[in-house]
């Protein structure tokens, strides 16, 4: 009798595993058919997992701090999503939001924090700033025409940290852009793989 019950449980387990396997195959085929990379799948699943975790650092940050302000006034010209890259013409994950703002408008720190890095990425982000906030939340600001802060500096929410830029003709070191804007990211660590949708923190 015990063996029969055990065999029945095993059959149910194998059946469930089989359907899980079929679902995985379906997702892989779907992603492949749309031309996405497996790194893009990681971004998607990682983002969904973090956002849905009620005990995550994101939930704690939102509950125990004043939250974020807009780093610049404007409208979203490219969302956090898969897209055809405007320059490379390949389908890639856009790991932040692009905000169309006034040319050379003030860029503000979204929240209190410490500048952990400033630099120049000529082939991609142009001039950029990274800020570490409470609970290891990081914000990233790119395609800047001016950078007013340095590594190790403490900033308060609303402090002006730089100027919007990215005009491929008029700005020096714009990075890979087709027009001026702010590229804004939110990460749950220093790793670019840990990006999440900035609209979880700020409204546009």
The per-residue pLDDT for range 43-85, each reduced to its tens digit, is 455 454 444 443 478 888 888 888 999 999 999 999 998 766 6
In whole angstroms, what is the distance from residue 111 CA to residue 68 CA? 5
Residue 115 backbone phi and psi in degrees, to 5: -70, 120
> What pLDDT digit, counting tens, does each position of 103-123 carry?
999 999 999 999 999 999 987
d(CA 50, CA 112) in angstroms, rounded, equals 22
Give percent of the chain with pLDDT exceeding 70: 70
Structure tokens at 30: 């779907």
d(CA 101, CA 73) in angstroms, rounded, equals: 6
């Amino acid at each position: 009798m015990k063996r029969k019950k055990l065999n029945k449980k095993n059959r149910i387990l194998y059946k469930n595993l089989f359907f899980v396997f079929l679902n995985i195959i379906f997702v892989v085929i779907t992603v492949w058919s749309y031309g996405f990379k497996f790194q893009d799948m990681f971004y998607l699943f990682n983002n969904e997992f973090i956002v849905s975790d009620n005990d995550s650092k994101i939930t704690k940050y939102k509950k125990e701090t004043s939250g974020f302000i807009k780093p610049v006034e404007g409208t979203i010209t490219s969302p956090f999503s898969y897209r055809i890259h405007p320059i490379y013409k390949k389908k890639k994950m856009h790991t932040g939001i692009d905000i169309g703002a006034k040319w050379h408008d003030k860029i503000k720190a979204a929240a209190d924090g410490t500048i952990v890095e400033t630099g120049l990425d000529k082939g991609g982000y142009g001039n950029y700033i990274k800020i570490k906030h409470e609970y290891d939340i990081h914000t990233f600001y790119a395609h800047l025409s001016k950078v007013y802060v340095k590594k190790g500096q403490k900033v308060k929410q609303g402090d002006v940290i730089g100027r919007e830029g990215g005009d491929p003709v008029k700005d020096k070191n714009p990075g890979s852009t087709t027009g001026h804007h702010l590229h804004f990211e939110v990460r749950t660590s220093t790793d670019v793989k840990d990006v999440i949708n900035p609209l979880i923190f700020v409204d546009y």
